[in-house]
Amino acid sequence: NAGVMQNPRHLVRRRGQEARLRCSPMKGHSHVYWYRQLPEEGLKFMVYLQKENIIDESGMPKERFSAEFPKEGPSILRIQQVVRGDSAAYFCASSPPSHSGDTEAFFGQGTRLTVV
């Protein structure tokens, strides 16, 4: 059972371009979370999705950022018109559809976005 897969691992974009970050959750997991970690800072929650639904986007910047988790395929975090301040590590996590607290979320190894 492969873990949470994120790609690309490293992404370089020029200012004004679009960045697309992909996350394939673990098999059987229907909950996906995205986090951002700015250089030398902590992990900040961005958005929580279930298949085809955004459940909580309280941590998403109001502009330029969007996320989706389609019925088929990976979850995508899209950043339009990137700026230097978007340079960060973006982590994805997934968890199974459990209604108890007795499972855990698994994290991918992240995508490191550098805006030049």
Q: Whole-number minimum distance, CB 58 to other proteins, in Å?
A: 9
Structure tokens of 17?
A: 């371009």
Is 22 a binder of other proteins (CB under 8 A)? no
List b or e across 28-40, with b for residues whose CB sees 16 or more CB atoms inside 10 angstroms: ebebbbbbbeeee
Name the CA radius of gyration of the chain, rounded. Answer: 14
Are 33 and 108 spatial neighbours (Cβ–Cβ below 8 Å)? no
Q: What mask, x for binding other proteins by CB under 8 A, covers residues 44 to 73?
A: xx--x-------x-----------------
Give how many residues touch other proteins by CB under 8 A.
29
- Write out the two tokens for 22: 């992909």
Q: Is 108 in the site for other proteins (CB under 8 A)?
A: yes
Residue 107 CB, nearest distance to other proteins (Å)?
A: 4
- The CA dihedral of 9, 98, 101, 2, to the nearest 10 degrees, is -30
**Is the Cβ of residue 80 or residue 103 nearer to other proteins in the bound state?**
103
Task: Count Cα atoms within 13 angstroms, Cβ side, for 38.
Answer: 6
The span of 16-24, 65-73, 74-82, 95-103 binding other proteins (CB under 8 A) equals: 95-103
Q: Report the interface residues with other proteins, using CB under 8 A.
A: 4, 31, 33, 35, 42-45, 48, 56, 89, 91, 93, 95-110
